[in-house]
Amino acid sequence: MTYNNSMKFLILFSLTFIFRNVLSNVNPLPYEAIFNFGDSISDTGNEATLHPPMPINSPYGSTYFKHPSGRLSNGRLIIDFIAQAYGLPFFPAYKNLIEGQDITKGVNFAFVGATALDFNYFNKSMVALPGTNNSLSVQLKMFKRLKPSLCKNKKDCRNYFKKSLFLVGEIGGNDIFSHITPKFSNFRNLIPLVVNKITGTTISLIKEGAVEIVIPGNFPVGCSASLLAVVNTNNTKNYDEFGSFKAFNIVIQYFNDNLIYSITTLRETYPDVKIIYFDYYNNAKRLYEEPQKYVGTCFYVGFDKDETFKACCGGGGPHNFDPRMGCGSPNTTVCSDPSKNINWDGVHFTEVAYKLLAKGLVEGPFAYPSLKPAPFQIA
C-alpha cells in the first residue's frame, strides 16, 4: 500500500470512528450494553487469562488483531461483529477486568470448553470431562457478582437492563461432544438436561431484569473438519449430498428442536420478555452447501469449494486436522488465505465465516424474531 493510500485509509477510518461517536451521542443506540454467556464460539479472553497466553507468533488472531487475542479464530467472532454493528466496543472478558474499568457497555462471561451442565455431572457420568469448570451456572454467578457494579438498585437495574441484550450461548455443544460415540448411546437422555439448564439460566436472567434475550441453537457439527477427521469412514451412506456426516447433524437437530420447544414455552410464560432464537444450524449449513455463492466482496474472494471441509490451520490429513497437533503447534500448517476457508482450526470458524454468520443474524433471516435494526453494517 502506498503512502497516499495509507493516509487515505487512516483518514477514512478516523472519520468512521468519529461519525459513530457523534451518531451515538445524538441518537441512543438500540442496545446500550451486551452481556454474553457461552463457550469458545464467543470467548474473547476469559480462558486465555487463566492459562498461559499463546506465543506471540501463534496464528490465532493473525488476520484482524495481528496477535493472539483470546479468541479461537484468526480474527473476530460473531459477538464482535454484533457489537460493532450496534456501535458498541469489543466488550471485555470478565476475567480480564481491572479496577475502575468501564463495564457499562457489556461484559463477556463465555469460556473456552464451557458446558451447560455443571462439572460434577461429567465427573459422576464417567464421560470425557470438559476442559473447564466454568459452566453456565458458574458464568451466571459471575454476572450476579458483577451486577452491583452495573446498577445501584432495583429501579436502576430495571431501566439499565431494558436497554441491554443478553446472549445465552451458543452453549451445549461441549456437553454433546463429551457423549459422542459411534452409537450415540446417551444423547437422547442428555439433551433434555442440557436444554433445561439453558432454560433455567434464562429464567434467572429474566428475574435479574433481562427483557431481551438471545438463545442460539447449535451448528451442523457433521460438517466440522474435526469430527469428520475423527469419523474417517469411506461409507458414502453416512454422508449427505454435500459431504457432512449425517448422524452428527441429526443429534444437533434433535437438540435444536428441544431448545426451540423450550423457547416457545418461555415466551408463553414471560410474554413481556423478547426471546430470540438464533438459527446457527441453517445459518452455517448454507456456507457448506454453497461455498462458492459467498463471493464478490472487497475483503475476500470467496470460499474454495475444495477446502469446504478442511481446516485452514491444522495437522494434516484429508481434513487438515489431527487431534494430537492443535493449530499453531509444531508441524502444523496454516493456509495461505484463511478467507477461502470456512473452518479455521478444525472446530472453530474463520473470521470471514463468522462475519457471514453474524450478517445472517443481524440482517436476517436467521434470527427469530429479529434483533433491533443495527445502525451500522457488518464489514
State how far the Cα of 71 lies from the Cα of 43, in Å rounded to an integer: 6
Contact 299, 352 (CB under 8 A): yes
Whether 67 sits among the annotated catalytic residues: the reply is no
Whether 156 sits among the annotated catalytic residues: the reply is no
Contact 343, 310 (CB under 8 A): yes
Which of these, 348, 343, 342, 288, lies nearest to 79 by C-alpha position? Answer: 348
State how far the Cα of 223 lies from the Cα of 245, in Å rounded to an integer: 6
| 33-52 per-residue burial string, b: 16 or more CB within 10 A, e: under 16 | bbbbbbbbbbbbbbbbeeee
| 85-110 per-residue burial string, b: 16 or more CB within 10 A, e: under 16 | bbbbebbbbbbeeeeeeebebbbbbb
**Which of 39, 40, 73, 164 is flagged as catalytic?**
40
State how far the Cα of 338 lies from the Cα of 304, in Å rounded to an integer: 10
> What would the grid cell of residue 157 be?
437495574
**Which of 43, 224, 244, 348 is flagged as catalytic?**
348
> What would the grid cell of residue 100 be?
475502575
Whether 51 sits among the annotated catalytic residues: the reply is no
Sequence-distant contacts of 86-90: CB under 8 A, at least 24 apart: 86/29, 86/30, 86/31, 86/34, 86/165, 86/372, 86/374, 86/375, 86/376, 87/20, 87/23, 87/24, 87/29, 87/375, 87/376, 88/29, 88/31, 88/33, 88/34, 90/44
Where helices occur in 151-224 by DSSP H, the ranges are: 154-161, 173-177, 187-208
Contact 85, 358 (CB under 8 A): yes
Element housing 145 (H / E): helix 136-150
Interhelix angle 136-150/187-208, rounded to 10 degrees, is 10
Across the strands, what pairs with 322? 325
**Which of 137, 306, 345, 370 is flagged as catalytic?**
345
Q: What are the catalytic residues?
A: 40, 345, 348
